[in-house]
Structure 1
Amino acid sequence: MALHFILRSSCTRSAPVFGSLLNGGKTLAVNRSLTSVSRSLLAAKPTTISSLGVSALRKFSASPIRQAAATGNHVTLWNAERALATAMLGVLPVGMMFPSQAGDALMAVCIVMHQYWGLEAIVTDYVRPILFGSTVPKIAHGLLLVISAATLGGLFYFIHNDIGIANTIRKIWSTKPKA
């Protein structure tokens, strides 16, 4: 709104052409601060959109877009993503220092949720319906759900039937390279 006001006021004082464009094609009243040269130009020929030969102009607005592609309030999800990322700063080191099935399960859930939200943002940004149609984005989101569920299932299987995430990472770090 402020940008529109600034553009409108500066354009009407300095350039009547832009003032008429911002005013929807109507000729604006002459401002008293115009110079004599500007007054003579305005008196000679009024400037309108039709006299410029412009048939159609796009509407310019400084207001936020009200028709988003996805509906709903995304602030809650954004806050949840940030809370999870912050919680992982404590969950991962504690899970590594004190290995247990519960700690491994908590790490697995946090890691899979974090990777799902990150990849979902990538899929939403780059696999758009305007580029690929309406079917491909739905398939991409479905595949992402399947991959995330399979990853979580595989991690749970590994936790319950093998040595777990933390012990595996400890084992990898403790191996000495062969000379």
Structure 2
Amino acid sequence: MALAMMLRSTCRNAAVPSLMLRNAARISSFAVRPALQKSLLVTPVQLLKQTTPALRPIVQNQIIRHSHSHVTLWKVEKLVALAILFGCIPLMTLLPGKAMEAVFAAVAVAHTHWGWESIVCDYVRAVVFGRFIAKAAIIATYMFSAGLLAGLLNFIYNDIGIVATVKKIWAIEGAK
């Protein structure tokens, strides 16, 4: 119950439960006497001076300045999405070949990588999860992208390829 009170109050920036938790062991070990009750009563001004926040503030200590513009990257991502939809997919069906499929695989993996990387950077922040987990998540994103590209290229050059696979899926007839 004390933990629940502390967690609820830290969301409201109240410091009273942290003071209660500090004194909980002392209070619970013997009966509460009127003199002890008077010593536990503290004015709000004293309480603010004595207590410290239970959680560290979630702010960055330094402003991170990037040398590149995020607007440019966003425009490139949108152009890549349009190139996949209106360029690579129609060309792959009209001009099937391993080279065209490899171009599609590279562009699709780049598009997927940028999406996952932005999700990881936005939601797995070092201030919340710590530097190790944030770096590990970014490394996992790069490993996932490299593995995806390697798997697609292996599928294109050592198997039937993407277009032939999609054609086989379309040729499947349902049970009659």
* TM, length-normalised to structure 1: 0.59
How many Å separate the matches in 2 of 1:139 and 1:70? 22
The answer to whether residue 128 in structure 2 is matched with residue 147 in structure 1 is no
With over 3 angstroms needed to count, the CA separation of the structure-2 counterparts of 1:158 and 1:70, relative to structure 1, is: farther
Amino acid at match of 1:133: G
With over 3 angstroms needed to count, the CA separation of the structure-2 counterparts of 1:177 and 1:142, relative to structure 1, is: same
* TM, length-normalised to structure 2: 0.60
CA shift digits 1:14-60 (9 cap, x unpaired): xxxxxxxxxxxxxxxxxxxxxxxxxxxxxxxxxxxxxxxxxxxxxxx
Aligned pairs for 1:13-162 (under 5 A) are 68-69=63-64, 71-73=66-68, 74-88=70-84, 89-162=86-159
User: Match of 1:27?
Assistant: none
| Higher RCO (CA-CA < 8 Å; seq separation 6+) | 2
Give 1:68 deviation, angstroms: 4.8
With over 3 angstroms needed to count, the CA separation of the structure-2 counterparts of 1:72 and 1:135, relative to structure 1, is: same
CA shift digits 1:74-118 (9 cap, x unpaired): 233223212211211211122123221011101101110111001
How many Å separate the matches in 2 of 1:112 and 1:69? 28
Measured on the aligned residues, the alpha-carbon RMSD in Å equals 1.5
Determine which of 140, 148, 163 is the counterpart of 2:160.
163
With over 3 angstroms needed to count, the CA separation of the structure-2 counterparts of 1:99 and 1:120, relative to structure 1, is: same
Secondary structure in structure 2 of the residue aligned to 1:172? helix
- Residue correspondences, number: 113
Bigger proportion of residues as helix: 2
What residue ranges of structure 1 are gaps of 5+ in the alignment?
A: 1-66
What residue ranges of structure 2 are gaps of 5+ in the alignment?
A: 1-61
